[in-house]
Structure formats: C-alpha cells, structure tokens
Amino acid sequence: MRITGRSDNPEDRFHRLAWPQVPTLLRTAGYLTRDTHAAEDLVQETMIRAMKNMASFEEGTDIRAWLMTIMRRTHIDLYRADRKHRDVVSLDAAEGLRITLPDEREAGTYDDRWDNPEEILERFGDDVVVLALKTLPEEIRWTLLLVDVEQLGHADAASVLGVPVGTIKSRAHRGRAMLRDRLHLHAVSIGVAGRGQEVEP
C-alpha cells in the first residue's frame, strides 16, 4: 500500500494511515505470539510507538512495511530477551501437531508426496496451517507472514527484516517447503498419510 502526497499533521496521518492497518497487525501478531493477549499487547505497543513516531513516516512508502518494522522491533524488545515468553510454539504445545520432525528438506528437492498440491493443501484446515506455521523458526515465519500472508513486496519484506532481497526469496522458498513437511507429518500423525506417500482423503 503506497501512500502518496497528502500533507496533514502527524496525528491526522496516524489516524488516516496507521489506524486502518490494525487488523493486519493484529493478525500477524497472532501468528507470531503464543496467544491472543500477547498479540494484543504487541500491537498496542506497536501502535503507541507508531503514534509517537508518525512524523518519521515517509510518504510514498508502504505504511504496512513501516508498521511491520516497528512491530518487529517491538516484538524483539518485549519477548525475545525474555526466554520465559518465547513465542515459537513447541510441538508439544501445538495440539494436533504432535509429530516428530525429520531433518529439513533441501529446498528444491523433488517432493513426490505432493503430486496434486492444490487439492492436498485444501484438505488442511486454517487452524492446522496456522499451527504448522507457528512451529517454523521465527525468521522463516516472519518471511512467510510478510511475503505470502500479507503480500508485501520482496523489497519491503527485506527492509522490515533487514536482510537482502535474495535472502527473502530463499527463505520464502525454504519456508514453504518446511511448512509442507509439517503438514505432511501432521497428516501422517492423524493417519491419513504414510511416510513418503501422498495424503489420502
């Protein structure tokens, strides 16, 4: 979302530009944190910081990328330093995903368990996909949230995460493969697929 050309004071800009992005921030925070309350706390602090720093937002750039950058820093400040509040969901905590993970699949390796991927992916509920997403390493998860879930451009995602565009592309590709592995193993765990086999209806 590129915003161009209107001049108003920071408070008006906050309400006009940042406020409508709260659902996007809250959804993303929900995929980053352990529970709803943690997500709300994260977005609350993000919005307070955004309000205070609205004058630094550069018109013509993507407001979502600017807010996501603030939220990422806020997330680091609030949670990463405190090991008690690690937000990577463990497999034990993720009901329905009680599975043992194999070594990660090499990105680009042919995966013959997914001969009809569109149809197979439809069989997983949103709740299962979200739980699988939450088990991914944080940097991979951030990448998929920005690029695939919220559809930010690669350059904006790279800016948010402070890495080169090429890193974003490789992380996204690898992350999608890791997500499919999680989903496949979930299918194995509930008995609708065997190891090395396509998921059955």
Residues within the interface to another protein (CB under 8 A): 11-12, 14-15, 19-20, 22-24, 26-27, 30-31, 36, 40-41, 43-44, 47-48, 51, 108, 110-111, 114, 117-118, 121-126, 128-130, 133, 144, 148-151, 173, 176-177, 179-180, 190, 192
Query: What is the smallest separation between the CB atom of 136 and another protein, expressed in angstroms?
Result: 11
Distance of closest approach, residue 43 Cβ to another protein, in angstroms: 6
Q: Among residues 56 and 83, whose Cβ is nearest to another protein?
A: 56
Per DSSP, 19 falls in state G
The smaller minimum CB distance to another protein, of residues 83 and 196, is found at 196
C-alpha 191/C-alpha 174 separation (Å) is: 26
Instruction: Tell me whether residue 83 or residue 109 sits nearer to another protein (CB atom).
Output: 109
Of residues 151 and 197, the one with the C-beta less far from another protein: 151
Which segments of the chain does DSSP mark as H helices, in order?
A: 10-13, 22-32, 36-52, 63-75, 117-122, 126-134, 138-144, 154-161, 165-189
- Centre a 10 Å sphere on the Cβ of residue 125 and count the other Cβ atoms it contains: 10
Tell the smallest beta-carbon distance from residue 16 to another protein (Å). 8
Spatial contact of 46 and 70, defined as CB atoms under 8 Å apart: yes
Cα distance between residue 11 and residue 170, in whole Å: 39
The alpha-carbon radius of gyration of the chain (Å, integer) is 19
What is the smallest separation between the CB atom of 93 and another protein, expressed in angstroms? Answer: 19
